[in-house]
Amino acid sequence: MISEAQAVQFRELGYFVAEGDFAPALLEAMSAEMDRVYREHLEKARYEGEAEVEAVRHRRSFSQFHLVSPVAAQFVRQPIYLEACRRFLGPDADLYYNQAATKPPERGRIFSWHQDSGYVHTEPLEYLTCWTAITDSNLENGCIWIIPGSHKWGLLEHLPEPETAERYGGKTAQFSDESGAIPVEMRAGQVAIFSSLMLHKSGANTSVTSVRRGYVPQYHVPHLIAKHTGQPWGDQVPVLRGGKRVD
């Protein structure tokens, strides 16, 4: 499923795009789950006031999605993810983090440049991000952008960035040259596999009707710790032991 050429590109450029070989019915099920969880959060927000309703409307991303979706709990063990873990992490791997991220038409904001490792410094530092297109992801509806090779720049300083009408809040990497940036457009079912040190961002959804749905599981070696606490960190859900799938 992952070719030697793709493995070389991962080492040299920090990313590659793979075919996930997901059954169409599975992608449809994930889309439905993302919509279901959003509807449930919106319904709950209605009891908490208009400000909370607006926050849910504009920020349609949900972390630890495997805990609220039985479909996602199995999706994180799809063959493409497990093969990537074997190739780049080794025979033992855990689900580190996962989120469902939806950008609705005419509403999705940009998400600024960052490295995933810039949020929590782990030991070991580098891990795998598997940005999965549940629906088509393109320039018009807010696909991700990357800077190939930026995983070799090391961990950059990240500063908090407040949320605005045009931008989601988060941490923003401090660097000066984004001239090498490229968009990563994907068909539904394709997966962008990249290093947690890869600089990436996403654009706004400027389309009229296209909903951009992405699912982003991340994988790390077992027993990692957060440097700021010295304690175990992340979802820590075993997916591989001795190269074999763990259910």
Q: Measure the CA–CA gap between 52 and 131, rounded to whole angstroms.
A: 28
Q: Measure the CA–CA gap between 183 and 147, rounded to whole angstroms.
A: 9
**Nearest CA-CA partner of 57 in 102, 110, 111:** 102
Domain ranges of the chain: 4-245
- Amino acid 196 reads S
Q: Measure the CA–CA gap between 19 and 37, rounded to whole angstroms.
A: 26
Per residue in 35-66, pLDDT (tens digit) is: 999 888 777 777 776 666 666 666 668 999 99
- What class, spelled out in words, does domain 4-245 have in CATH? mainly beta
Per residue in 148-180, pLDDT (tens digit) is: 999 999 999 999 998 887 888 889 999 999 999
